[in-house]
């Protein structure tokens, strides 16, 4: 970009959460000379009280202001907000008053001028207005209207439409989202998720030693890497665990949904969240990766990071039939039923090393089309087209 605008990122993730495009893109913007203020997740009082033991200090975090992470990049934790803001517009407005006061205060201390408001929050329409920027971008990474929890579908859908209508640009991560939302935006751009291919290069080549836990597990190992949440089909997981009692099933990542029904299976192992640097070693120990989403609008509008990582690592993959998985048909096995999902796992387990090497080579070649470098270049072009006043 000819100009290097200040950027205020209103995120749905804390900086130290699982590493996604939010943190990646803001780090990249900072590296190219933009000053970035990253606003962490808006946590409301009910969530805070439910997780009091784990997050008790959250209530005081905003008092510390913005903390510098690296050159040009600051992160701040906003004050706790009122619940039901995705169900009631009046509460959303009240929260926006509090948040805008806090964000304006922090950006003023940093000397930000007419920043680009870069929001991932569908209900940020009121907040964007109060921040009074002339440059606004909304990035939609999910179909939020069908989220579970304290969400009212009609309210969040309307708030998101209002958010999109006032933005100079809207970015979506899946074709499903583009088709549904393009009529509400002046300028909409499709930029899917991606992968850091270099991170998984050695795993693809077969030269990474698997994590020690795999020495203790019966083979083959069927694995899932990512967050276990309500959009994951736990019934499907139970079905395949019962179908293959001698296979090991490992789940690498945080668990935010009750998995009590799965704990009765001796062949299911929850390994918890692992540092990003260690993920290649865990993928190296998995024989077949799975993508077991519940088939609904969330799956239709999702661009799963895990799929890109599985492919870059050269792993055989079985997925439910969702649009973003179908893009990789030929590298990813698509299942239309629980029985077919199990059949395809058995088929992939039976493949010889020559077949697996061929798959890994083809997967690596395809993954080069889906790097974070390329996705960031696309995003920069969006900002140049919509915000760069110095362009010729």
- Please give the chain's pLDDT, 392 residues, in tens: 678 999 999 999 999 998 899 999 999 999 999 999 999 999 999 988 888 878 889 999 999 999 999 999 999 999 999 998 888 999 999 999 999 999 999 999 999 989 999 999 999 999 999 997 999 999 999 887 677 777 788 999 999 999 999 999 999 999 999 999 999 999 999 999 999 999 999 999 999 999 999 999 999 999 999 999 999 999 999 999 999 999 999 999 999 899 999 999 999 999 999 999 999 999 999 999 999 999 988 888 899 999 999 999 999 999 999 999 999 999 999 999 999 999 999 999 999 999 999 999 999 999 999 999 999 999 999 999 998 754 43
Gap between the Cα atoms of 222 and 178, Å rounded: 33
- All structural domains of the chain, each given as residue ranges with its CATH number in brackets, are 7-194+371-387 (3.40.50.2000), 197-367 (3.40.50.2000)
What 3-state class would DSSP assign to 76? strand
Q: What is the value of pTM for the model shown?
A: 0.92
Point out which residues pair with 67 in neighbouring strands. 75
Residue with token string 């019962």:
242
Q: Output the six-digit token pair for 176.
A: 């499903």
Gap between the Cα atoms of 37 and 115, Å rounded: 10
H helix runs in the chain, sequence order = 21-31, 45-50, 52-55, 58-61, 89-109, 125-131, 153-165, 175-181, 201-205, 234-243, 279-284, 297-300, 305-312, 323-326, 338-349, 353-367, 372-387
Query: What phi, psi does 137 have (nearest 5°)?
Result: -135, 135
- The torsion of the CA quartet 337, 341, 343, 344, rounded to 10 degrees, works out to 130
């Amino acid at each position: 970009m000819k100009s290097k605008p200040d950027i205020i990122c209103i995120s749905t993730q804390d900086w130290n959460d699982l590493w996604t495009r939010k943190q990646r893109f803001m780090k990249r913007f900072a590296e190219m000379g933009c000053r970035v203020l990253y606003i962490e997740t808006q946590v409301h009082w009910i969530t805070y009280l439910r997780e009091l033991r784990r997050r008790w200090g959250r209530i005081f975090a905003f008092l510390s202001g913005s903390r510098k992470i690296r050159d040009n990049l600051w992160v701040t934790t906003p004050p706790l907000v009122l619940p039901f803001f995705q169900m009631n517009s009046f509460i959303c407005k009240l929260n926006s008053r509090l948040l805008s006061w806090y964000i304006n205060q922090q950006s003023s201390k940093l000397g930000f001028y007419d920043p680009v408001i870069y929001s991932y929050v569908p209900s940020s329409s009121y907040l964007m207005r109060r921040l009074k920027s002339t440059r606004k971008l909304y990035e939609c990474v999910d179909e939020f209207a069908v989220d579970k929890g304290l969400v009212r579908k009609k309210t969040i859908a309307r708030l998101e439409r209002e958010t999109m209508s006032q933005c100079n640009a809207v970015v979506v991560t899946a074709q499903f989202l583009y088709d549904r939302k393009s009529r509400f935006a002046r300028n909409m751009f499709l930029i899917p998720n991606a992968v850091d291919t270099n991170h998984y290069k050695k795993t693809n080549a077969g030269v990474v030693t698997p994590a020690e836990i795999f020495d203790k597990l019966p083979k083959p190992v069927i694995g899932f890497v990512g967050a276990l949440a309500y959009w994951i089909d736990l019934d499907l997981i139970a079905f395949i665990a019962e179908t293959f009692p001698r296979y090991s099933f490992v789940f690498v990542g945080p668990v935010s949904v009750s998995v009590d029904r799965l704990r009765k299976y001796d062949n299911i192992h929850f390994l918890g969240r692992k540092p990003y640097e260690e993920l290649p070693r865990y993928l190296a120990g998995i024989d077949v990766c799975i993508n077991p989403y519940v088939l609904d609008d969330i799956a239709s509008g999702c661009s799963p990071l895990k799929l890109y990582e599985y492919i870059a690592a050269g792993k055989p993959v079985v997925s439910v039939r969702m649009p973003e998985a179908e893009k990789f048909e030929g590298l990813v096995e698509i299942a239309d039923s629980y029985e077919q999902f199990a059949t395809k796992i058995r088929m992939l387990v039976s493949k010889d090393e020559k077949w697996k090497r061929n798959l890994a080579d083809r997967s690596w070649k395809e993954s080069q089309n889906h790097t974070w470098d390329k996705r960031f270049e696309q995003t920069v072009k969006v900002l140049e087209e919509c915000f760069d006043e110095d362009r010729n």
